[in-house]
A and B are shown apart, each in its own frame.
Chain A
Amino acid sequence: MSTAESAAGSAAEGTALLEIDALSVAYGRRGGRPGQQILEEVSLRARAGEILGVIGETGSGKTTLARAVVGLAPVTGGRITVDGAEITGLRGRALREFRRTGRIQYLFQDPLRSLDPDLTVGALVAEPLAVTGTGSREQRAERAAEALHRVGLDPGLAERLPGQLSGGQRQRVSLARAVVTRPRLLLADEPVSALDASNRNHVLRLFDRLRTELDVAVVVISHDLSSLAGIADRIAVLYRGRLVEQGPTAEVLTHPLHPYTALLTASAPSVRREHRIPPGRLRRQEAAPEWALEGAGGCGFAARCVFADDACRAAPAVEARPGAREVACHHADTWRGRLSSPELAVVAVGR
């Protein structure tokens, strides 16, 4: 698979803690039925101490990607390796045992619904240790207190119930619960989308600090580009189950190679209004070509892409670009030049 090879080439420095190779996931596949393809040959890497940001809209497969890493999605192809151990082959008892090691931790979006309302904060944070029978009760309480301290929470909160905490505090309890097992990989699915701006930044700063303190690889799924940009080393952009672009954060966001990434960054609300390209120029106004709507192969973004043409009937492969970047677009090197062409300029004025 060219996808896997190019990903391996670009992330060569240092060994990756999380390696996802040509991962495909489909729901409802049974017998001869093809099922619904959610992810198609996605390859990603994350090193220890690194934050990988994953962005994409609803239905892009970003949550499925994270769930596949913890064995919660039906993988139909490809390989996932964490800290040298292959996850994809694990079933039943072996999978449960791997989960119990706590080497991977998963952080959910809504802490109010993922924390048991009847357990105290102290019990919640110590629970992952209790499950595996790690240490004595006192040692567990000690490590729970240490984890609370790490996420900047007063150990005095240990006696409270989740319902007595603010949204930001609850998400920090979830984070304490995740780091108490000293994980190697932390997956966070929209960890801050339910929080206001100040609390959002507070939690993201914790991720930033913990990745160095614990030398943990962190994958953060978010739709808030600007705050993610503050902490992520690299960004991967998913669209309809495929990787469309990835690379170092600042480069990807300031000089996108894929028209979808460009549309995303141009659409992000900003108090600065310094979008390089007006979003109207990147929105397709005319009807999508018939072949793009049928979903019969081809580039997944073609139906919404201003630059789509006959070349896009074939699905673009993920190709490496200088600066440890990757992009899957037939027009990656030329679309920017076409922005100033007369036909697109007319469209922009019409908005």
Chain B
Amino acid sequence: MPASSLSEPAADTPVLAVEGLHITVNGGRTEAVRDISFTVRAGEAVGLVGESGSGKTLTCRSVLGALPPGVQVSAGTATLADRGGGSTDLTGLDRRGWERLRGVRLGAVFQDPASYLNPSLTVGRQLAEPLMVRQGLSRAAAHRRAVDLFTAVGLHRPAEVYHRYPHELSGGMLQRVLIAVAVSGDPELLVADEATTALDTVVQAEVLDLLGRLRSERGLALLLVSHDLAVVAEVCDRIVVLYAGEVVEEGPTEQVLAAPAHPYTEALLRVASLGDWSRRELAVIPGRPPEAGRAPTGCRFADRCAHARPECRDGVVELRSAGEGRRSRCVRLEALHLSGTVLQEVSA
């Protein structure tokens, strides 16, 4: 029960609390996500990291009510708190319920911005229309608010951008438009699913800065999903590392990077984009993650782990405390001295 075991003051009630989430695929035959729990508080940025198949996308899609056919939440809850003190269990929502929530209390941005916009309407209209429908603004007021939002997301010449069609804008500009759409209803939570993966390096850094700024200015809770540990490290206060459908480690970003509490995190750190510009032997993680439903008994990472011992395969490994605010799913945690990366701020 991570949400309640953290003895936080009541004002720090999480905006999103995912508890014991299980997700099945293949119409319920295969379990792809097992017992995932984490929280995101107001103004906090939490990152979900893992390779493809780790369950990070399924987890994120279940929070957005956008699971594909044949995939369902089989157990657990995902609770979204609102500013009034009430809360909603997202796993029990029907279509109507989702419609009331999406774009209002919950915003989302994805990897390919162009496919979420109508190519035959100007981007301004696509932002203004929901404002008119949801917030009852007049056409003129919606136009003004849309231009304000375009300004807020750092689009140059926002009044001109309003009249542009999606094909006239670059990928980075489109992603800013979608971020404007996502925050237009002043949501409590913004979910970014690989939102910067397809962008050029320079634009990616700008969009990550924008997300960070929106978070501090609006007190937005941010759930960032990425396969790239470096991206998550840039933005997030806390990191949740997923492997083969399970949380293997969770903790504050700086601590996790400086001293990982799970061998998988250590391996991810070694292969991540280190910002190391020297010629070197590039690290790899041997083997492949197990397919959904074919995970071995015991530790699911054991087959690829440099520190594995026979006892790792004995039985289900539970997620347990690894110090203040940290959790790990490694039986050998106390015996290991995992190496992290040195965080150093070097000024210009």
Please determine whether A269 and B279 come into contact, CB atoms closer than 8 angstroms.
no
How far apart sit A249 and B203, CA to CA, in the bound complex (Å)? 22
Contacts of A271 in B (CB 8 A): 229-230, 233, 257, 269, 272-275, 341
How far apart sit A254 and B202, CA to CA, in the bound complex (Å)? 17
From 230 to 280 in chain A, residues with beta carbon under 8 angstroms from any chain B beta carbon are 230-231, 233, 249-250, 253-254, 263-280
A16-24, A122-130, A194-202, A318-326 - the one binding chain B: A194-202
Closest CB in chain B relative to A139 CB, distance in Å:
33
Closest CB in chain B relative to A207 CB, distance in Å:
10
Closest CB in chain A relative to B206 CB, distance in Å:
7
**Closest residue of A by beta carbon distance from B227:** A196
Residue A283 is within 8 A (CB to CB) of chain B in the complex? yes
Contacts of A280 in B (CB 8 A): 209
Residue A146 is within 8 A (CB to CB) of chain B in the complex? no
Contacts of A273 in B (CB 8 A): 233-234, 275, 343-345
**Closest residue of B by beta carbon distance from A55:** B201
A33-41, A80-88, A174-182, A218-226 - the one binding chain B: A218-226
Please encode chain A, from 44 to 84, with 1 for each CB lying within 8 Å of some chain B CB and 0 for all others.
00000000000001100000000000000000000000000
Please determine whether A249 and B204 come into contact, CB atoms closer than 8 angstroms.
no
Residue A205 is within 8 A (CB to CB) of chain B in the complex? yes
Contacts of A276 in B (CB 8 A): 346, 348
Please determine whether A270 and B230 come into contact, CB atoms closer than 8 angstroms.
yes
Closest CB in chain B relative to A240 CB, distance in Å:
13
Please determine whether A267 and B204 come into contact, CB atoms closer than 8 angstroms.
yes
Please determine whether B233 and A250 come into contact, CB atoms closer than 8 angstroms.
no
Contacts of A340 in B (CB 8 A): 348
Residue B263 is within 8 A (CB to CB) of chain A in the complex? no
**Closest residue of A by beta carbon distance from B342:** A272
How far apart sit A277 and B275, CA to CA, in the bound complex (Å)? 13
Pick the contact of A268: B267, B273, B345 (CB < 8 A): B273
Please determine whether B282 and A227 come into contact, CB atoms closer than 8 angstroms.
yes
Tell me whether A57 and B200 are in contact in the complex, defined as CB-CB below 8 angstroms, given that A197-B227, A269-B233, A269-B273 are known contacts.
Answer: yes
Please determine whether A269 and B230 come into contact, CB atoms closer than 8 angstroms.
yes
Please determine whether B201 and A229 come into contact, CB atoms closer than 8 angstroms.
no
Please determine whether A224 and B273 come into contact, CB atoms closer than 8 angstroms.
yes
B75-83, B181-189, B283-291 - the one binding chain A: B283-291
How far apart sit A76 and B191, CA to CA, in the bound complex (Å)? 47
How far apart sit A200 and B231, CA to CA, in the bound complex (Å)? 16
Contacts of A270 in B (CB 8 A): 230, 233-234, 273-275
Tell me whether A58 and B171 are in contact in the complex, defined as CB-CB below 8 angstroms, given that A198-B51, A271-B229 are known contacts.
Answer: yes
**Closest residue of A by beta carbon distance from B197:** A193
How far apart sit A201 and B201, CA to CA, in the bound complex (Å)? 18
Residue B271 is within 8 A (CB to CB) of chain A in the complex? yes
How far apart sit A198 and B270, CA to CA, in the bound complex (Å)? 9
8 new A-B contacts, CB < 8 A, other than A197-B51, A269-B204, A273-B234, are: A198-B267, A267-B205, A268-B273, A269-B273, A271-B229, A272-B342, A272-B343, A275-B275
Pairs of residues from A and B, 6 with the lowest C-beta to C-beta distance, nearest first: A270-B275, A267-B205, A201-B282, A253-B277, A269-B230, A57-B200
11 contacts between A and B (CB under 8 A): A197-B228, A225-B273, A226-B273, A229-B278, A230-B279, A264-B201, A269-B234, A269-B273, A270-B234, A276-B346, A280-B209
